[in-house]
Amino acid sequence: MNIVVCVKQVPAKDAPLAIPEGAAWIRETDIGFELNEPDGYALEEALRLKEKHGGEVVAVSMGPERSKQAIKEALAKGAERGVHISDDKFYELDPLGSARCLAAAIKREKFDLVLTGLQSDDHGFGQTGVLLAELLGLPHATIIMQIDAADGRLKLKRELEAGWFQWVELPLPAVLSIQSGINKPRYATLKGIMAAKKKEIATLTRAELGVTVSPTQRIERIYVPKKTKKTEILTGTAKEAAAKLVEKLKHEARVL
Amino acid sequence: MATTTTTASQSVARGGSFLVESPRPEDVFTPADINDEQKLIAQTTSEFINDEVVPLIDDLEHHKPGVMIGLLKKAGALGILGGAIPEEYGGAGLDKVSSTLLSEQLAAYGGFSVTHGGHSGIGTIPIVYFGTEEQKKKYLPKIASAELISCYCLSEPQAGSDAQALRTRADLSKDGKQWILNGQKMWITNGNYADLFVVFAKVDGDKISCFLVEKGTPGFSVGAEEKKMGIKGSSTTALSFENAPVPKENLLHEIGRGHIVAFNTLNAGRFSLGCYCLGGVKRTIEVSSKYSKERTAFGKQLAEFGLIRQKLAEMAIRAFALESMIYRSAGMMDAFMASAETGTNKTQHMMKALEEYAIESSISKVYGSEALDFAVDEGVQIFGGYGYHEDYPVARAYRDSRINRIFEGTNEINRMLIIQMLMKRAMGGVLPLIPKAMKLMEEILAGPSFEEGSGDAFAEEERMVANAKKVFLLTSGSAVQKLRDKLAEPEHQEVVAALSNIAMDAYAMESSLLRVQKAAARRGAGDVGVMSAAMRAFLFDAADRIEHEARTVLGAVAEGDMLRTQMMALKRFSKREPGNPIALRREVATAVLAGDRYPFEYR
């Protein structure tokens, strides 16, 4: 089974973020970057499927030169090849633009399955995987908790609300968005890291892919949410206060 | 594993040459040159230590059976134990920059990093560099996987710093098939669970030699776990040999050449020790910075107080100087390795590299252990009363740190070694210290000249660094002139230590400056503001320290007119622009607090 896994490089979770005056994106100098955590689960799932069914895993990423690191991590963990869509302005793309670029690159591959993480830890649109399936004209399922592949078909466990699950079946090829926590991603071993240096990373540009994008949405502004702290003291006897609290939990907080 | 492409342009610097040469910024390796693969090695190690080791600290501190061994086996599977072992023997064969990164990450828990150092460092290196093909094949793959735990056994109850006074003896059995060992060893890291013991003993009364002793050897026994002040997670025991027979083929290297094995191993161990310490300083910054925001006093966060900010800044500044030195040295070792002609035995060449940079390795050990001791002390201070409580990680870090100034050659011994090695290189003509000192004398006698500012953004700092080296030449020249070969005698240790301090600070100053200059050239001067502040604050204080040490030396070795002339020269070389270190430290503290971390990682 040949699997394409989409991996994104995002600012490190604990990186101190600075937003330049009036900018629509964070200041990228002096912060660390890492593999988008949800994509780490997709990568692990891809590696496990490959180990079970054979084939190869190709890691695809888009972004500036530094984003190759996400591909290298995938290669170190066991992916066979990498495809880097080199794009210094990728952060200006909306999810549709991103998906168009990725779809164009993935169409060049012979694959049975495309895996993505559920969403990215930076923009968090959660749409790229779905749009990718549409653009590739393939069936798609989200929030995948378990994948059983047999005879060219997939049996998939999806997570629903309130502890419910759903089993669905899809034919291959397909595109899946993997739920975070589905597995425990492996470490890259030092041997794997050394071996990754010999693996191929193909570089493509938007122009080479023949993709022109006109954003359908753009980020106006980003800002740190203002802290709004409102403390209300409930007065009266304990009984009265408790009654008021229940009322508020029911109708204001709506948690009861 | 090759380092970054920038290494290609780096010429190979001689060990100790920092005192007589002025490399260009592009000639030195800095953390900004660390490549993607090297970062991945750091990442794997960091994930391992944080996910697997840190949650078990309580069990490890109490020596819960099997826990440390289990972790070592996991580390072995990831390749973390085989950094020094060539790939053909099951190791990762890491370059120096990668193994530096790895050591730094392991410092998250002192008990583990010391165990790692005892096993993968000094317990492995003797076999890698001096083992026969059979010995390497037999032991190294199992050391890499933790199937065998190794340890280095040099110290004895009566022989610590004076290791050559060891009394353990090895006599050939009557049938000539075995070595019979008798004696005791002390402070053996990993003693309790080691399977392989790299033991130093004397043959024929005075020929120091090295033997590989396996667990279970008759007459060989391991003492009880020592009750240590810190690094409690690691095992430390005494060893006893009573007519313990060791197969003849377990002699490592040659009879009477054991001291070569011991010293080369310690060169490597000292360098790594500085790397562990660097990682420890960074960890201390993280916990201290976080706590300074959680805790309030007088209605403010601790982080808002000037004296707390000063502490956080100073930890980061010392880490910066240490890191600049360590990665510059690691880069030099890797460049030395890369310069090997094809067909050269890589292992032998690496040993030469360790020997070449033994001065830099001792500096890494001394500077690193003292930076960490400073950081954990201030860490405890920031935590206040809670810092004195075992429930808080700084209390453990404080205890764990203290040993670093003692083992792998005390800092006192290493200070002596730094100057002894420099002098040996000067006398042997490897380092042109003597002609440089003579040229300086001419400069001094010619009187002050009006130095033209280059107009460069770092002109003042360049001058300070150049002056630091001149002060070293002035003081070491004066000391050598007066004391000549008596300089090595115990009664002049104070002078030697002061010279050592000048040399170390000069290396730290220059490495910090070159790193900032390299970053400024790469990213633009506007983008290195905070790093530049850290460097400037460091230079400001280091220049003071150097002047102080120089006065100490000159006062001890010169007198009369000579003393006056040299003091005048010192004054000239100590001249510098006034600065505002408080403002510089505030800038650094703000950067620390912004991310609760050391702010110059990979920069």
Grade residue B342 by pLDDT with cuts at 50, 70 and 90.
confident
**What's B113's domain CATH number?**
1.10.540.10
A68 lies within 8 A of chain B by CB: yes
Q: Which of B373, B391, B409 is the last residue of a domain?
A: B409
* Strand segments (E) across chain A: 3-6, 9-11, 33-35, 57-63, 81-86, 113-117, 140-150, 153-159, 165-171, 174-178, 201-205
CA-to-CA separations, B521 to B35, B456, B460, B526, in angstroms, rounded: 18, 12, 17, 10
Do B468 and B577 lie in one domain? The reply is yes
Residue A104: enclosing H or E segment and its boundaries? Answer: helix A95-107
**What's B196's domain CATH number?**
2.40.110.10
Residue B455's pLDDT is: 67
Do B446 and B492 lie in one domain? The reply is yes
Do B433 and B576 lie in one domain? The reply is yes
Predicted TM-score (pTM) above 0.80: yes
Q: Which of A190, A191, A194, A199 to mutate to test the interface with B (most CBs of B within 10 A)?
A: A190
What does the pLDDT look like over A7-47, one tens digit per residue?
Answer: 999 999 888 888 888 888 888 887 889 999 999 999 999 99
Do B49 and B115 lie in one domain? The reply is yes
Grade residue B565 by pLDDT with cuts at 50, 70 and 90.
very high
With contact defined as beta carbons under 8 Å apart, do A70 and A49 qualify? no
Judge whether B593 lies within some domain. no
Domain count, chain B: 4
Do B324 and B305 lie in one domain? The reply is yes
Taking the C-alpha atoms of residue B471 and residue B566, their distance in angstroms, rounded to an integer, is 10
Chain B residues with beta carbon closer than 8 angstroms to that of A18 = 594
Chain B residues with beta carbon closer than 8 angstroms to that of A68 = 36
Residue B435's pLDDT is: 94
pLDDT at B210 over 60: yes
Judge whether B2 lies within some domain. no
CB pairs under 8 A between A and B: 58
**What's B364's domain CATH number?**
1.20.140.10
Q: Average of pLDDT values for B49-68? A: 97
Q: Tell me the ipTM for this assembly.
A: 0.91
Residue A29's pLDDT is: 80
Do B576 and B430 lie in one domain? The reply is yes
Residue B11's pLDDT is: 65
Name the residue with tokens 């320290």: B545
What does the pLDDT look like over B223-235, one tens digit per residue?
Answer: 999 999 999 999 9
Domains, in order of start, for chain A = 3-209 (3.40.50.620), 226-256 (no CATH)
A32–B601: do the CB atoms touch at under 8 Å?
Answer: yes
Residue type, B123: G
With contact defined as beta carbons under 8 Å apart, do B139 and B215 qualify? no
Chain A residues with beta carbon closer than 8 angstroms to that of B74 = none
Name the residue with tokens 């001689």: B14
Residue B271's pLDDT is: 97
Q: Average of pLDDT values for A206-213? A: 90
Buried/exposed B126-161: b ≥16 CB within 10 Å, e otherwise: bbbbbbeeebbebbbbbbbbbebbbbbbbbbeebbe
For A190, the closest of B39, B78, B599 (CB atoms) is B78
Q: Which of B237, B258, B279 is the last residue of a domain?
A: B258
* Separation in Å, CA of B234 to nearest CA in chain A: 24
B1–A68: do the CB atoms touch at under 8 Å?
Answer: no
By mean pLDDT, which of A50-59, B358-367, B413-422, B520-529 is the weakest?
Answer: B520-529
A194–B48: do the CB atoms touch at under 8 Å?
Answer: no
Taking the C-alpha atoms of residue A159 and residue A176, their distance in angstroms, rounded to an integer, is 13
A164 lies within 8 A of chain B by CB: no
Judge whether B67 lies within some domain. yes
Q: Which of A216, A220, A217, A215 is nearest to A22 (CA)?
A: A220
A73–B41: do the CB atoms touch at under 8 Å?
Answer: no
A89 lies within 8 A of chain B by CB: no
Chain A residues with beta carbon closer than 8 angstroms to that of B92 = 190-191, 194
A30–B603: do the CB atoms touch at under 8 Å?
Answer: yes
A72–B40: do the CB atoms touch at under 8 Å?
Answer: yes
Do B500 and B433 lie in one domain? The reply is yes
Do B290 and B229 lie in one domain? The reply is no
Residue B240 β-bridge partners:
B184, B221
Q: Which of B370, B408, B549, B587 is catalytic?
A: B408
Q: Which of B300, B364, B256, B263 is nearest to B18 (CA)?
A: B364
pLDDT at A217 over 90: no
With contact defined as beta carbons under 8 Å apart, do B80 and B102 qualify? yes
A191–B523: do the CB atoms touch at under 8 Å?
Answer: no
Do B284 and B245 lie in one domain? The reply is no
What does the pLDDT look like over B357-403, one tens digit per residue?
Answer: 999 999 999 999 999 999 999 999 999 999 999 999 999 999 999 99
Residue A214's pLDDT is: 83
A253 lies within 8 A of chain B by CB: no
Q: Which of A7, A66, A186, A187 to mutate to test the interface with B (most CBs of B within 10 A)?
A: A187
Q: Average of pLDDT values for A198-214? A: 93
With contact defined as beta carbons under 8 Å apart, do A58 and A7 qualify? no
What does the pLDDT look like over B430-488, one tens digit per residue?
Answer: 999 999 999 998 988 887 776 655 668 899 999 999 999 999 999 999 999 999 889 98
Q: What is the maximal distance between C-alpha atoms in chain A?
A: 73
Residue B3's pLDDT is: 34
For B527, the closest of A29, A191, A197 (CB atoms) is A29
Residue B450's pLDDT is: 64
pLDDT at B567 over 70: yes
Chain B residues with beta carbon closer than 8 angstroms to that of A191 = 79, 92
Do B380 and B494 lie in one domain? The reply is no
Residue B237: enclosing H or E segment and its boundaries? Answer: strand B236-247
Residue B451's pLDDT is: 60
Residue A214: other Cβ atoms inside 10 A:
7
Q: Using CB atoms within 10 A of its CB, is residue B295 exposed (0-12), middle (13-18) or buried (19+)?
A: middle
Q: Which of B372, B357, B369 is nearest to B411 (CA)?
A: B369
pLDDT at B7 over 60: no
Residue B2's pLDDT is: 38
What average pLDDT is seen over chain A? 93
Judge whether B599 lies within some domain. no
* Separation in Å, CA of A224 to nearest CA in chain B: 14
What does the pLDDT look like over A92-118, one tens digit per residue?
Answer: 788 999 999 999 999 999 999 999 999
Q: What is the DSSP letter of B383?
A: H
DSSP SS3 for A32: coil
A146 lies within 8 A of chain B by CB: no
By mean pLDDT, which of A145-149, A208-212, B88-92, B279-283 is the weakest?
Answer: A208-212
Do B537 and B425 lie in one domain? The reply is yes
Judge whether B131 lies within some domain. yes
Judge whether B513 lies within some domain. yes
Cβ within 8 Å of residue B432, ≥6 positions away: B20, B426
B408 is catalytic: yes
What does the pLDDT look like over B489-541, one tens digit per residue?
Answer: 999 999 999 999 999 999 999 999 999 999 999 988 778 899 999 999 999 99
Judge whether B345 lies within some domain. yes
Q: What is the DSSP letter of B156?
A: B
A29–B523: do the CB atoms touch at under 8 Å?
Answer: yes
Residue A213's pLDDT is: 82
Residue B453's pLDDT is: 57
Chain B residues with beta carbon closer than 8 angstroms to that of A14 = 595-597
Do B457 and B335 lie in one domain? The reply is no
Q: Which of B208, B223, B258 is the last residue of a domain?
A: B258
What does the pLDDT look like over B238-263, one tens digit per residue?
Answer: 999 999 999 999 999 999 999 999 99
A13 lies within 8 A of chain B by CB: no
Judge whether B329 lies within some domain. yes
The domain of B108 spans 17-148
Q: Average of pLDDT values for A189-217? A: 93
